[in-house]
Amino acid sequence: MKHIVLGVTGSIAAYKAADIANRLTKDGYSVHVIMTKAGCEIITPLTLQTLTKNKVYTDMFEPYNPSEVEHISLAQQADLFLVAPATANFIAKAAAGIADDMLTTVFLALRNTPVLIAPAMNTAMYENPITQRNIRTLSELGFGFIEPREAMLACGDLGKGALADVDEIVKRAEEALKQIILPT
């Protein structure tokens, strides 16, 4: 069975992570969710735990399994690292190599694991030259992006920044996983 680590950050689109996690779980993947503190303000960990049947990680220092160093073991078991939605904050931290929570720490502990990042934020934040530089930096390092849509955003603005359609995110994740051959 292939393992997906799904990062959920504090975008209002975090509620769509439930659909993403549910679809990937029903498609036969083991989905392990890591939520930022801000992500937990939008959707509860219990929702994602119920849908994935796996513990949801929210705190870097909560002992989940005393015999493991969780951020390392999660990184090692991940066949795909997917962040949907990804805020400007997560993208900036990832581009700068900042590891100050469970999600960014696992991200930095990955080795040769495909990464897909699905941004979701206000248009001004998405188009900000700093955010665009951070996206370019991560893209140049080989990390994949699933482009946001142009839509009416939660703040009332019309523009690019809405999370890509769930169908597109699931499709891209499954395409990335098809490239991986599990040892027999």
Burial of 34 (0-12, 13-18, 19+ CB in 10 A): buried
What is the C-alpha radius of gyration for the chain, rounded to an integer number of angstroms?
A: 15
Bridge partners of 149, per DSSP, are 162
> 161: part of which helix (H) or strand (E)?
strand 158-162
**Rounded CA separation 90/52 (Å):** 23
Of the candidates 146, 50, 132, which has an alpha carbon nearest to the alpha carbon of residue 95? Answer: 132
* Residue of 141, 155, 158, 180 with catalytic role: 155
**Rounded CA separation 109/131 (Å):** 23
Task: Give the total residue count for the chain.
Answer: 184
Query: Has 40 been annotated as catalytic?
Result: no
Alpha helices by DSSP H, 54-140: 70-77, 88-96, 102-109, 123-127, 129-140
Q: Which residues are catalytic?
A: 155
